[in-house]
Amino acid sequence: MSEKTTESRHSHLSTAAASALYIGALLGPSLLLLPGLAARAAGPASLLVWLSLLVLSGLIAVVFCALGTQVGSTGGVAGYTAAGLGERAGRAAAWCFLAGVVAGAPVVSLIGGSYAAAALGMGESAAVPAALVLLGLVLTVRLVGVRTGAKLQLVLVAALVALVLFAMLGSAPHARAANWTPFLPHGWAGVARAAPPLMFAFVGWEAAASLTTRLRDPRRQLRLVVLIAFVVTSLLCLGLGAATVGVLGPDAGGAVPLADLMRAAIGDSGRILAVGAALVLTLAATNTYLTGAAELTDALLPPTPTPSRRGPYAVVATTALTGGPLIALVGSGVLSTDQLVAVPTALFLSVYLTCTASAIRILNGLPRLAAMVCCPAVLALVLGTGWPVLAVAAVALLAATLPGRGSASAAQDGHRGKPELTEGNVVLASHNSH
């Protein structure tokens, strides 16, 4: 098949579509819950935690932007890791990411389904059926294809931003200065307790890493895409965190803060909009992760005589086969949502760890300094997840022994016509753009 035909299969992403994919990954359903959890743990001081973690998220964004422009490959996190840590490490990072997507899709659906059920006052029994419906929707979107998925993502993100802005601005007249005192109701210990769960809101930069070569001009577009995603998500997170404290006050620690803000804005009908926000957040986040996983799977699967897109079908089939039973186990009480959340979180953080460690070895200047700050911080977060570290180790060890295309070859595929990237021979771009 000619290179032109192959390229047509992998249509270019516009800056707007790529930005929507990144925003969707960063603003997952955790945004529905975390403002309330943070306010419960730290009160008004939770805003300090949001600010601190936004700084860390910004540093991680710098690292991934530099990796995307200097080492970018269809292998995404696999290529990033292999460039600095070697082939086996790259393969381990790839499979940790894929395992995180497969394990994370039912978790995201459960969060969205639980929020929708709670917002409508339907009780916990409705959460599992709602989660199964959401999982079916996101898998259907993935099967439609990358081109349509990207267009749909633009619509989803636009709707999401509109809903969150409506909640913040519509409820603003109900804000009270008295709700900001005392600023540290639980002391600095409360601030420390709020940090780990809030970090989950900033996992997402790795999700679209495999899509960097889908940009027509990655060196120019990727910086703009990352900047747009960071600014939009920062404003929404800070605004929602501030509105939760300022408007809800003593009730800020509730289970459905976004629904409570919408109810403050327009009354009881606001809960219906909150259900819409849960649906949009679930679809937007999972669509990005499944899209990135499909691209990465295509890069890692052994080549065939006739090039074909096997990644989307493999990812959807695996997620469907495992997601349904996992949601059913939660519904039966065998597993809890908290137990499920810990596993994909540890897997995604391990990918951050390998990518930032690789960045320390192969980058220079500000991106390398950012990686040196992020790497130990991410390591501490990985170890803090507890027993899921064992799951990460199992996946990494298994992946290191698996045969396959390997990360370096994936990186080369992503750089046809560009300097070849192989282990031990990484060609870096000049730093005139930093």
In whole angstroms, how far apart are CA 235 and each of 277, 279, 292, 349, 416? 17, 21, 25, 23, 38
- CA gap 289, 131 in Å, rounded: 17
* Residue 381, both tokens: 């977060």
Predicted pLDDT at 208: 59
- CA gap 299, 79 in Å, rounded: 10
- CA gap 189, 365 in Å, rounded: 35
Q: pLDDT class for 407, splitting at 50, 70, 90? A: very low
**What's the longest Cα–Cα distance across the chain?**
69
- CA gap 258, 281 in Å, rounded: 12
DSSP assigned state of 256: -
> Measuring CA to CA, which residue among 421, 398, 399 is closest to residue 410?
421
Predicted pLDDT at 72: 63
DSSP assigned state of 428: P
Beta bridge partners of residue 215, listed in sequence order? 13
Whether residue 238 has pLDDT greater than 70: yes
pLDDT in tens, 298-351: 766 666 655 556 667 788 888 888 888 888 888 777 777 767 777 888 888 899
Q: Which domains are seen in the chain, by residue range?
A: 16-298+308-413 (1.20.1740.10)
- CA gap 117, 409 in Å, rounded: 46
Name residue 420's amino acid.
Answer: E
* Residue 151, both tokens: 């267009």
CB neighbour list of residue 427: distance below 8 Å, 6 or more residues apart:
419, 420, 421
Q: pLDDT class for 2, splitting at 50, 70, 90? A: very low
Predicted pLDDT at 356: 93
* Residue 185, both tokens: 């109701």
Whether residue 146 has pLDDT greater than 70: no
pLDDT in tens, 108-135: 888 888 777 877 777 767 888 888 888 8
Instruction: Dump strand ranges (E) for 364-426.
Output: none
> Measuring CA to CA, which residue among 314, 318, 296, 288 is closest to residue 207?
288
Burial environment of residue 166 by CB neighbours within 10 A (0 to 12, 13 to 18, 19 or more):
middle
Predicted pLDDT at 199: 65
Q: Determine what percent of the chain falls in helix, strand and coil, rounding each to the nearest 5.
A: 80, 0, 20
Predicted pLDDT at 372: 94
Predicted pLDDT at 203: 67
Least confident of 4-8, 208-212, 214-218, 271-275: 4-8
pLDDT in tens, 65-114: 888 877 765 567 888 898 889 888 888 998 898 888 888 888 888 888 87
Name residue 75's amino acid.
Answer: G
* Residue 292, both tokens: 């990135």
**Averaged over 241-264, what is the pLDDT?**
82
102, 311 contact by CB (below 8 A): no
- CA gap 388, 380 in Å, rounded: 14
Radius of gyration of the chain (CA): 21
pTM of the model: 0.75
Burial environment of residue 393 by CB neighbours within 10 A (0 to 12, 13 to 18, 19 or more):
middle
Q: What integer best gives the mean pLDDT of the chain?
A: 76
Predicted pLDDT at 197: 64
Q: pLDDT class for 361, splitting at 50, 70, 90? A: very high
Residue 347 C-alpha from the chain's centroid = 12
The CB density around residue 114, as the number of other CB atoms within 10 Å, is 24
427, 421 contact by CB (below 8 A): yes
In whole angstroms, how far apart are CA 47 and each of 26, 194, 235, 283? 18, 10, 12, 27
Which is more confident, 295 or 171?
171
Number of continuous H segments (helices) and E segments (strands) in the chain: 17, 0
Q: Describe the crossing of helices 15-26 and 146-171 by its angle, rounded to 10 degrees.
A: 60
Q: pLDDT class for 399, splitting at 50, 70, 90? A: confident
- CA gap 68, 210 in Å, rounded: 9
- CA gap 56, 315 in Å, rounded: 30
